[in-house]
Amino acid sequence: MQLTKEKFIRDFKDAVHEAQLIKVPAATPTEAFVSLAKVIRKYYTPLWLERNRKISEDQKKVAYYFSIEFLPGRMLETNLLNLGILDTVKEGLADLGIDFEEVKNAEHDMALGNGGLGRLAAAFMDSLATTGYPGFGNGLRYKYGLFKQRIVDGYQVELPDSWFGSIGNVWETRKDHDIVDVKLFGNVYLQANEEGRIMPVYENAQILRAVPYDVPQIGFGNDNINNLRLWDVEIPEEYELNYPTVADRRRVQDITATLYPDDSSYEGKELRLIQEYFMTSAGLQTIIQSYLKQNRPLENIHEKVSVHINDTHPAVAPAELMRLLVDDYGLEWDKAWQTTVKTMSYTNHTILSEALEKWDAELFKNVLPRVYQIILEIDNRYVAELAQKGVNPETIENTRIVKNDQIHMANLAIIGGHSVNGVAKLHTELLKDDTLHDFFVLFPEKFNNKTNGIVQRRWTQIAAPELSEAIDKTIGTGWRTDIHELRKLNELADNPEILADFYQVKQDAKAKLAAYIKETTGIDVSTDAIFDVQVKRLHAYKRQLLNLLHIIKLYWDLKDNPDLDMVPRVFIFGAKAAPGYHFAKSVIKLINEIANLVNQDASLQGKLKVVFLENYNVSLAELIIPAANVSEQISLASKEASGTSNMKFMMTGAVTLATLDGANIEIKDEVGDDNIVIFGMDKDEVYQHYANHDYYSRGVYESNPTIKRVVDTFVNGTIPNSASEGTEIYEALITHNDEYFLLEDFEAYVAAQAQIDALYRDKEKWSRMSLLNIANSDKFTSDDTITQYAQDIWQLEN
């Protein structure tokens, strides 16, 4: 959109005046932020209305991305950038004596997600708007996002993330006219109606009101605005007598109170099922209503609507759509089923079978009695159909939805949809060959890969403005609109001046992070050190502990030989552990205690520093990632479905130190073997161990003195204040046979780290590697990923 600085200044002054009854200079950063958001809303509202009008006028097919998590982080700067008015606004504010950074920091992260899955959903929203495809999000309006992490005495403490604060969500709009009701609990029996049709009769159902709040998703440079619809729950006035006490009301409000913070185990809690159903049912109901406005037959809804199931959380969708089509709109089962399958598609985000949701049939039936009946019907028909085709009974049993009194949600998503995709090449291969192999044999045509992506604009233009300017200087500004132009950097990677420029940009980003580290932890770190970063959720399979084992080795090496010739290293961690994940919390405690140990030991001469930054979130990632020299992507091969921070590090010039897992493999394919450091077992070697049962960690420990010394450090009193956590870790590694093969990969990891040390000494060589990483990172733009979803899975037009 067009905007002059003068007009902006007028609008902004008016907004501050109107909202706060004060003149601009008196506004606090929060007040300035709220007013600025109001001004921006005024700018985009006509565009938003126009977009909605156009989509319904053109009767375009729309994809709805159903996700229990969306993790956009802050929206202010992206909204401005995407509207094309970021510089104008910054200049206008500067003229008024307002620091844009302060205003920007007044916005609370919208953290309605745990990690990669939620961040990916938010990235897709941005990219859908940017590519112009009609793709809307559907999720929940949690009052509390992912917990705020504090570290106290080295331990993780969780605090509620009340992100609404006193100002609420400045971007959202409540849409009363799209309110729908959602039914839970009660009894359902079947009865013939006047026409002789068998219909469900609900008794004592709880009826809740689903209220949508829409958050605009602004496309980059195209004035195109899509919708992220987040549902809130309310008690319908007409039923308020059913909720006489505060406790009764709270139980309802709980449905949208908090995001489940657990991405480490599947729990099977009733409230979670209610959350999943609530957003799915509400979403599908409004979708049907808006489709019907086009006066088209419901049995063809797939022609205008796609519903995407992001992981299994909304996987009740095929059954709920069947319920709506058959019960509420009177479609024949077969016609309803045909259109349902064509409407639905599903993404799997993990091969870890313990993460695939399975609901106890009793619990499910109690909460959703009618949906339960429908799932049984789907399952019965599925089994009968396959049996008739002569499919062997074992395959049928492996793939059916209901078995052993459990409902297998992934199976429902696969059977009830036409597409199943993994999120990186290796991950999709593993789904086909292993996790979902039986399904692949039955329905090979459903399977496809969509390698994840990232919103390049957030990770370059917003998080790394100095890097962006350096790129502009080198290849012009075309890359800002067409990321593929980054490839032009490939030809310039031998130019020492350019390399020096990029080196300096990295140093500046490191200095910024160093200042933050000093301010928040008191630790002094030198920008001459290698900034070696591992930031992601804390999980055994991601192997933060392997990183720690190497740190302990370096510690002993330096204790043995204080003059050891090594490039100083700062190991930086950021990680939240699920509140109930004991082991993960022990790893956090140990990182912090080892940090205390090494940071205070003067004999190490500052060569080794360890920093744990608390409350890792999107905004902190924007500070940390551009400052990294080394990107730690060291999951056990086969376990990390894709990873997406690996792509962000690459794009901002870190060198990846990685196992051949997830998207690391595709990063390697892009940069070539010389510009990445790969180590450890590959997926086949890991699987061979599984097949042969030949791994014995105690054997490795006892036969390798270095490993023994490192592991013993956890239990011999070297690390203060962590006896019980140390024991827990020792036992995981030795007594419980080291489930994620840390000891097996240890030596290869140490060698790879030595290689990093050697490479970094040659400043020019390192800078060249760094630049080539940036140059070839365009492959991971989520604009391209979403284009593949739109074309291959959803058949959309932009």
**DSSP run (H or E) holding 657:** strand 655-658
CB nearer to ligand 26V: pick between 393 and 580: 580
In which region does residue 360 sit, left (phi positive, over 0), alpha (psi from -120 to 50) or beta (all else)? beta
Only segment of 252-260, 264-272, 282-290, 377-385 that touches ligand 26V (CB under 6 A): 264-272
Indicate whether 31 belongs to the interface with ligand 26V (CB under 6 A): no
Only segment of 259-267, 294-302, 318-326, 331-339 that touches ligand 26V (CB under 6 A): 259-267
Indicate whether 422 belongs to the interface with ligand 26V (CB under 6 A): no
* Catalytic residue selected from 427, 537, 569, 609: 537
Indicate whether 349 belongs to the interface with ligand 26V (CB under 6 A): yes
73: β partners: 110
Q: How far is the CB of 349 from ligand 26V (least distance, A)?
A: 4
3-state secondary structure of 203: strand
Q: Is 537 a catalytic residue?
A: yes
Q: How far is the CB of 533 from ligand 26V (least distance, A)?
A: 17
Q: How far is the CB of 649 from ligand 26V (least distance, A)?
A: 13
CB nearer to ligand 26V: pick between 349 and 408: 349
Indicate whether 641 belongs to the interface with ligand 26V (CB under 6 A): yes
CB nearer to ligand 26V: pick between 417 and 453: 453
Dihedral sign computed on CA atoms, order 608, 524, 504, 528: negative
| Whole-number Cα distances in Å, 673 to 439, 667, 681, 689 | 35, 10, 16, 26
Spell out a b/e string for 413-452, using b for 16 or more CB atoms within 10 Å of the CB, else e.
Answer: bbbbbbbbbbbbbbbbebbbeebbebbbebbeebbbbbbb
Only segment of 72-80, 114-122, 240-248, 745-753 that touches ligand 26V (CB under 6 A): 114-122
How many C-beta neighbours within 10 Å does residue 191 have? Answer: 9
Task: Give the Cα separation of 622 and 625 in Å (integer).
Answer: 6
3-state secondary structure of 141: coil
Indicate whether 111 belongs to the interface with ligand 26V (CB under 6 A): no
CB nearer to ligand 26V: pick between 267 and 397: 267
Indicate whether 435 belongs to the interface with ligand 26V (CB under 6 A): no
Vertex 315: Cα angle to 309 and 320 (nearest 5): 110
CB nearer to ligand 26V: pick between 223 and 640: 640
DSSP 8-state code for residue 405:
T
Indicate whether 72 belongs to the interface with ligand 26V (CB under 6 A): no
Q: How far is the CB of 644 from ligand 26V (least distance, A)?
A: 5
Binding test (CB under 6 A) with ligand 26V, winner from 72, 115, 137, 219? 115
CB nearer to ligand 26V: pick between 82 and 638: 638
Contact 535, 624 (CB under 8 A): yes
Footprint of ligand 26V on residues 40-59 (CB under 6 A)?
none
Contact 107, 30 (CB under 8 A): no
Indicate whether 586 belongs to the interface with ligand 26V (CB under 6 A): no
Number of residues that bind ligand 26V (CB under 6 A): 22
Strand boundaries in 16-134, DSSP class E: 62-66, 70-73, 110-112
Q: How far is the CB of 119 from ligand 26V (least distance, A)?
A: 8
Binding test (CB under 6 A) with ligand 26V, winner from 82, 350, 767, 781? 350
Length of the chain: 798
Footprint of ligand 26V on residues 650-669 (CB under 6 A)?
662
User: Would you state the structure tokens that stand for residue 716, as one six-digit string?
Assistant: 């011999």
Q: What is the DSSP string of 233-245?
A: EE--GGGGGG--S
- β-pairing, 225-234 vs 187-192, is unpaired
CB nearer to ligand 26V: pick between 121 and 367: 121
Binding test (CB under 6 A) with ligand 26V, winner from 120, 430, 681, 793? 120
Indicate whether 643 belongs to the interface with ligand 26V (CB under 6 A): yes
Tokens 């209220």: give the residue.
Answer: 211
* Catalytic residue selected from 400, 408, 542, 768: 542
CB nearer to ligand 26V: pick between 115 and 417: 115
Long-range pairs for 15-23: beta carbons < 8 A, 24 or more residues apart: 15/39
Q: Is 381 a catalytic residue?
A: no
Footprint of ligand 26V on residues 478-537 (CB under 6 A)?
none
Q: Is 269 a catalytic residue?
A: no
CB nearer to ligand 26V: pick between 423 and 493: 423
Contact 209, 239 (CB under 8 A): no
Q: Is 585 a catalytic residue?
A: no
Indicate whether 135 belongs to the interface with ligand 26V (CB under 6 A): no
Indicate whether 116 belongs to the interface with ligand 26V (CB under 6 A): yes
CB nearer to ligand 26V: pick between 18 and 267: 267
Only segment of 28-36, 219-227, 345-353, 677-685 that touches ligand 26V (CB under 6 A): 345-353
Task: Give the Cα separation of 784 and 209 in Å (integer).
Answer: 37
Footprint of ligand 26V on residues 351-370 (CB under 6 A)?
352, 354-355
Q: How far is the CB of 442 from ligand 26V (least distance, A)?
A: 24
DSSP 8-state code for residue 275:
H
Q: What is the DSSP string of 568-636?
A: -EEEEEE-PPPTT-HHHHHHHHHHHHHHHHHHT-GGGTTSEEEEE-SS--HHHHHHHGGG-SEEEE-PP
**DSSP run (H or E) holding 52:** helix 29-58
* Catalytic residue selected from 648, 683, 768, 779: 648
* Catalytic residue selected from 90, 349, 432, 457: 349
Contact 273, 363 (CB under 8 A): yes
Q: How far is the CB of 551 from ligand 26V (least distance, A)?
A: 24
* Catalytic residue selected from 536, 589, 607, 779: 536
CA dihedral 621, 624, 626, 629 (to 10 degrees): -130
Footprint of ligand 26V on residues 149-208 (CB under 6 A)?
none
Secondary structure, 3-state, 720-765: CCCHHHHHHHHHHHHHCCCCCCHHHHHHHHHHHHHHHHHHHHCHHH
Phi then psi for 677, rounded to 5 degrees?
-115, 115
CB nearer to ligand 26V: pick between 446 and 450: 450
Edge-to-edge strand order for the sheet containing 569-574?
608-612, 569-574, 530-535, 630-633, 655-658, 677-678
Binding test (CB under 6 A) with ligand 26V, winner from 36, 76, 117, 671? 117
Binding test (CB under 6 A) with ligand 26V, winner from 88, 644, 776, 777? 644
Please give the positions annotated as active site. Answer: 349, 536-537, 542, 644, 648
Binding site for ligand 26V (CB under 6 A): 115-117, 120, 263-266, 311, 349-350, 352, 354-355, 423, 452, 640-644, 662
